[in-house]
C-alpha cells in the first residue's frame, strides 16, 4: 500500500504521458487541414480548367471535342496528381437559335490521412459557352 501511495505522488514522466496522449489528436488535425487545403486547390483547379476550356470553345475556328478535352487536361496542371478529373462535352441549341456547348468537369479527390483512407470527395464544375455565329 505504501508503494502505491508513493507512486501516485510521483509526477516524473507526466509530460511524456500528456505528450503521448496529445500527439495523435494534433497530428490528425494537421493532416486534416492539409487535406482540406489540397481539396480546395483541386476544386479551384477544376473550375479554372473548365473556365479556360469554355473560353477556348468560343474562339474561331470552333475546336472539336478532342481539342476541348486536350485543353481541359492541360489546364489542370498538377491537380491531376491529387485526384481524377473527366470532361463531358454536350452540344445544343438554345430557344433563340444560338448554338452552345455545355462543359461538365467531374472528378474525385481521395482523402488519405496516412494511417486511414477516408474515401473520396466528389468535385463537379459546369460551364455553358455560347458559340460565335
pLDDT in tens, 34-63: 999 999 999 999 999 999 999 999 988 889
Q: At what angle do helices 14-57 and 65-75 cross, to 10 degrees?
A: 150
**DSSP-assigned states of every residue in the chain:** -HHHHHHHH--TTHHHHHHHHHHHHHHHHHHHHHHHHHHHHHHHHHHHHHHHHHHHHTSSSPP-HHHHHHHHHHHTGGGGGTEEEEEEEEEEE-TTS-EEEEEEEEEEEEEE-SS-EEEEEEEEEEEEEEPP-
Domain of residue 30: give its range.
2-130
How much is the pTM? 0.83
pLDDT in tens, 70-124: 999 999 988 888 999 999 999 999 999 999 999 999 999 999 888 788 899 999 9
Counting the structural domains of the chain, the total is 1
Say if CB 79 and CB 85 are below 8 A apart: yes
Record the cell numbers describing residue 87, joined without a space. 470532361
Amino acid at each position: 500500500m505504501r508503494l502505491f501511495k508513493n507512486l501516485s505522488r510521483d509526477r516524473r514522466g507526466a509530460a511524456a504521458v500528456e505528450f503521448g496522449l496529445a500527439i495523435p489528436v494534433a497530428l490528425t488535425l494537421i493532416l486534416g487541414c492539409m487535406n482540406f487545403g489540397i481539396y480546395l486547390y483541386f476544386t479551384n483547379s477544376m473550375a479554372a480548367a473548365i473556365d479556360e476550356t469554355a473560353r477556348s470553345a468560343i474562339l474561331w475556328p470552333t475546336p472539336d471535342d478532342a481539342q476541348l478535352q486536350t485543353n481541359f487536361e492541360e489546364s489542370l496542371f498538377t491537380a491531376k496528381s491529387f485526384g481524377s478529373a473527366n470532361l463531358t462535352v454536350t452540344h445544343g441549341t438554345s430557344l433563340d437559335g444560338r448554338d452552345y456547348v455545355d462543359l461538365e468537369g467531374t472528378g474525385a479527390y481521395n482523402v488519405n490521412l496516412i494511417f486511414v483512407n477516408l474515401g473520396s470527395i466528389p468535385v463537379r464544375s459546369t460551364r455553358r459557352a455560347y458559340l460565335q455565329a
